[in-house]
A and B are shown apart, each in its own frame.
Chain A
Amino acid sequence: MITVKKLSHDFVIGKKGRQTIIPILRDISFSVEKGEIVTIVGRSGSGKSTLLNLVSGFIHPKEGEIWISGEKVSNLNEAKFADFRIHNLGFIFQSFQLIPSMTAFQNVELPLILKGINEGERRKQTEEMLKKVGLLDYQDHYPGELSGGQQQRVSIARALIVNPPIILADEPTGSLDSETEEDLLKFIKELNRDLGITFLIITHDDKVAEIGHRTIELRDGRIFEEVRLVCN
């Protein structure tokens, strides 16, 4: 489903003539199978967020290749990656990334608008999705009027609304309390089991790492260890 081949990336800082190259990722190769939950763990600065941003297409890799659903995405331009993203990828962010001036309903509806779905169909699908995440009664609330858990559920509903085969999550429980965290992890497991959605999750939380079928640990921009968890 996701294949990363010999991926390297670095950042250049400083003004022209006095630039410093900071290596972030070095020679990363791994793959994620269909229906798998893979967690990427590592300390702060290990390069895990950069890895997710590269897979998401938010930044372009300096070296290496990224394949998703059989398509080489590492050399797609911004417009083409945007089209690919709306049909294939869902995103869950640590800080939810909801648009504050839009209601829960409008936030969830947004990907469908971008896909060009008609209004009637959008309403039906959005209400179904909000019902699924238990927020139908909150559809007219703005993000500022919802709790952290509720906001994350809106974020998940927005990610799921276009039925993506893959969801990329960046510290999905980072802003949640322990009770809400457990609910969310349970929900992710259900989605994986019932709908066969593939998850690639970045986390530094052991509890989150435990729900994965495999865990990849990054250290100093390189894969340090890859562990398959039997219980999952």
Chain B
Amino acid sequence: MQLKDQFRFVRQNMKKNKTRVFMTILATAMGCAFLIVLASVGFGLQKSVVKEMTEQRVITQIDVHGKEIADQGGFRPVSEKDIQIFEKLKDVKAVTRRKMLQQEGNFSIGNYQEPAQTVVANFPSEVKAGLELSAGRLPKGEDEVVVGYNFPLNLAIKDAPDDRYDDKGQLKAEYRYTGKLIGEKLEITVRQLKDGKQEEKTIPLTVVGISKKPTREWAEDRSVFISDTILTEIENFTGTPKGYLLDPNSEVPKDQDIHENSFDEVKIYARNMEAVQGISDQLKDMNYATYSVVNELKEVNMIFMIAKAGLIFIGTIAILIASIGIYNTMTMAVTERAPDIGIMKAIGANPKTIKRIFLLESSYIGLIGALIGTLVSYGISYAVNFAIPLIIKQAFGKETEINIIFSDIPFILPVICIVICYGVTIISGYRPAQRATRVDVLKAMRREV
């Protein structure tokens, strides 16, 4: 018997008891929709968390915070020697290292000024890591600097009032520096407490470049990149490593010497996401304190995987309940169709064919139910994502801070549901199908023996 004909038989049989078949399909669809919607909450929350984590960080980036000191149990900062080790590791694309001026440098250009973070960077490695300029060039001379994209936007007139910022925290246009910046003279003023008095030193610089706008909407780059020579000049003035500003109320820190020639921010960029774990493991073996979003993602994904498995398990119970309906429908079908089965067997139908027709019918019910359930769950998922933020807004009077996805249905979820549903319907249809093959021809045809 051809498969096409078996399907035709199944459809004919299903038409005979439309209401009963419809109710069974409905129960299966509800079970499937329950499973998918329940698990979709796990998938949705995971997506939200992962999105939040990956948006904050570059996925191929590994932060190195220092190296464990074997005997003392503490950590020391990363040195030039460590950088050379990092650069030799396999699949490392770039190692950026920055020294931070340990006080806020006050920058001024004519009648405009702005306090900003002052950084010494290694430009070849920064470029390898993806640093691009929106205008100008990279510094060549010792007094040349590159400023962050948002630096000119915050360069305010010196006597600007306190309400110089608008509602969004942006400097109002009337107080903002509007002249050109490339090639202009910029002065940095640094301070230090000397003999109880605060002294200042101003160093002239030249702006040669402006970095590219940060790709992330929320990110703001207001830093100023100075040369190592300028930093040395500042250190000579302050008498402390990296221009550390002494406080009149506290003592001079004793461990300052360890910060000499060390880096405050070291980032290793892997060639691809897959390489991150390997590099992290090697660094860990060498006792470096590292952090990468991939490590964190691994743990988060593990927790969510357990949660999703639990939700799918609970959802499967709903399908198992629906399978009782399928079992009942198929048992009734076998009982009702016993005379027809008898006739078919009498004229030469193989018991395997009979069994296959009934299994096909139960799986047909299961699959239609699963497909309807999948469609319904997509609708519910869409409605939930649309309605819950509105409900939260109505109930609490404010919007959700993070863009939370409450329900997400990846392609794999309906596939899992359909596979579970198919398996369950085959199991629930198996016994009735087996019973159909055992229908006695003579009893079914009510013939005398």
Q: Once the chains are docked, how many angstroms separate the CA of A114 from the CA of B8?
A: 13
A19 in contact (CB, < 8 A): no
B23 in contact (CB, < 8 A): no
**CB within 8 Å of B: which A53-101 residues:** 53, 56, 58-59, 78-79, 82-83, 85-87, 89, 91, 93, 95, 97-99, 101
Scan A90-124; emit 1 where CB is below 8 A from any B CB, else 0.
01010101110100000000110111101100000
Known: A58-B441, A59-B442, A99-B343. A114 touches B447 (CB 8 A): no
Q: Once the chains are docked, how many angstroms separate the CA of A162 from the CA of B347?
A: 10
**CB within 8 Å of A: which B403-449 residues:** 441-442, 445-449
Looking at B171-179, B212-220, B350-358, the stretch in contact with chain A turns out to be B350-358
B351, A49: Cβ atoms closer than 8 Å: no
A111, B2: Cβ atoms closer than 8 Å: no
A-B contacts, CB under 8 A, total: 74
B197 in contact (CB, < 8 A): no
In the complex formed, the residue of A with least CB distance to B352 is A79
Known: A93-B445, A116-B2. A158 touches B347 (CB 8 A): yes
Known: A82-B350, A101-B340. A49 touches B2 (CB 8 A): no
B347, A85: Cβ atoms closer than 8 Å: yes
Residues in A neighbouring B349, C-beta threshold 8 A: 82, 86, 114
Q: Once the chains are docked, how many angstroms separate the CA of A58 from the CA of B440?
A: 8
Q: Once the chains are docked, how many angstroms separate the CA of A89 from the CA of B343?
A: 14
Residues in B neighbouring A162, C-beta threshold 8 A: 348
Residues in A neighbouring B442, C-beta threshold 8 A: 53, 58-59
Smallest distance from the beta carbon of B176 to chain A beta carbons, Å? 81
Known: A58-B441, A78-B351, A79-B352. A114 touches B449 (CB 8 A): no
A29 in contact (CB, < 8 A): no
A101, B16: Cβ atoms closer than 8 Å: yes
Known: A82-B350, A118-B2. A110 touches B344 (CB 8 A): yes
- Interchain CB contact (< 8 A) of A116 among B1, B339, B345, B448: B1
Which of B347, B445, B449 has most chain A Cβ within 10 Å? B347
A175 in contact (CB, < 8 A): no
B347, A93: Cβ atoms closer than 8 Å: no
**CB within 8 Å of B: which A160-184 residues:** 162, 170
Residues in B neighbouring A58, C-beta threshold 8 A: 346, 441-442
Known: A99-B340, A118-B2. A49 touches B347 (CB 8 A): no
Smallest distance from the beta carbon of A156 to chain B beta carbons, Å? 13
Residues in A neighbouring B445, C-beta threshold 8 A: 93, 95, 97
B162 in contact (CB, < 8 A): no
A97, B343: Cβ atoms closer than 8 Å: yes
Q: Once the chains are docked, how many angstroms separate the CA of A95 from the CA of B12?
A: 24
B447, A85: Cβ atoms closer than 8 Å: no
Scan B1-36; emit 1 where CB is below 8 A from any A CB, else 0.
110110000001000100000000000000000000
In the complex formed, the residue of B with least CB distance to A107 is B343
Known: A58-B442, A113-B1, A113-B5. A101 touches B350 (CB 8 A): no
B447, A82: Cβ atoms closer than 8 Å: no
Chain B residues with a Cβ under 8 A of chain A: 1-2, 4-5, 12, 16, 339-340, 343-353, 441-442, 445-449
| Contacts A/B (CB < 8 Å), 16 sampled | A49-B447, A53-B442, A58-B346, A59-B442, A79-B351, A82-B348, A82-B350, A85-B348, A86-B347, A91-B346, A99-B344, A111-B347, A111-B348, A113-B2, A114-B348, A119-B4
